[in-house]
Amino acid sequence: MLERIQAWDNRMLSKLAKRHTNKLNKIMVFVTKTGNNGYVWFALTIPLLIIYRFRLVGYTTVLAMIISALSGEVTIKHIVGRVRPCNRDFGKDLLIKHPAHYSFPSGHTSSSFAVTMVMFFMMPILFVPVLVYACLMAFSRIYLLVHYPTDVIAGMVLGVICGTVAVSVSPFIPFFSI
């Protein structure tokens, strides 16, 4: 079963690698770099933390990103230990710096979808633009050959779970009501 999944992942990446263009390369590099260390999501969160009536949303967003990082980056990646596709030859040079950690699940994707879920439940007006950017972020990771499609799918699922958990518990954290 795992061999079939890996074969499918490899086929998808090979097909995608053949469709790279200079313009799309620049867009995908930009999108993925905004996700490094959660920069784009912290940029969204800072105004929420500053404006008193949105502070709980801001705290919940930070909590969702922390839960996502601890579960994905710190735990699951090291248990699974999947080697990144950029270590294989897909006939393309890597357009970004080679990531240091394992591949499964995608951290950029899980943090993006964790934030997306917080917006879905707590600030619906931002849900659609955040969802669109999260999808772009997820696609950029596959496009740039640093994640397999199944890494990104797992990152989406993990992010949805982490965001939902954060929304569920944040109202009960005393510090968040300040």
Please give the average per-residue pLDDT across 131-151, as a whole number.
93
The answer to whether 76 and 30 are in contact (CB under 8 A) is no
pTM to 2 decimal places: 0.89
Domain ranges for the chain: 28-173
Phi first, then psi, for residue 113 (nearest 5°) are -80, -25
Question: Given CA atoms 31, 37, 43, 44 in this order, what sign does their dihedral have?
Answer: positive
The answer to whether 29 and 96 are in contact (CB under 8 A) is yes
Report pLDDT digits (tens) over 46-79.
Answer: 999 999 899 999 999 999 999 999 999 899 998 9
Alpha-carbon gap, residue 178 to 169, rounded angstroms: 15
Report pLDDT digits (tens) over 84-115.
Answer: 887 776 556 777 777 778 888 999 999 999 99
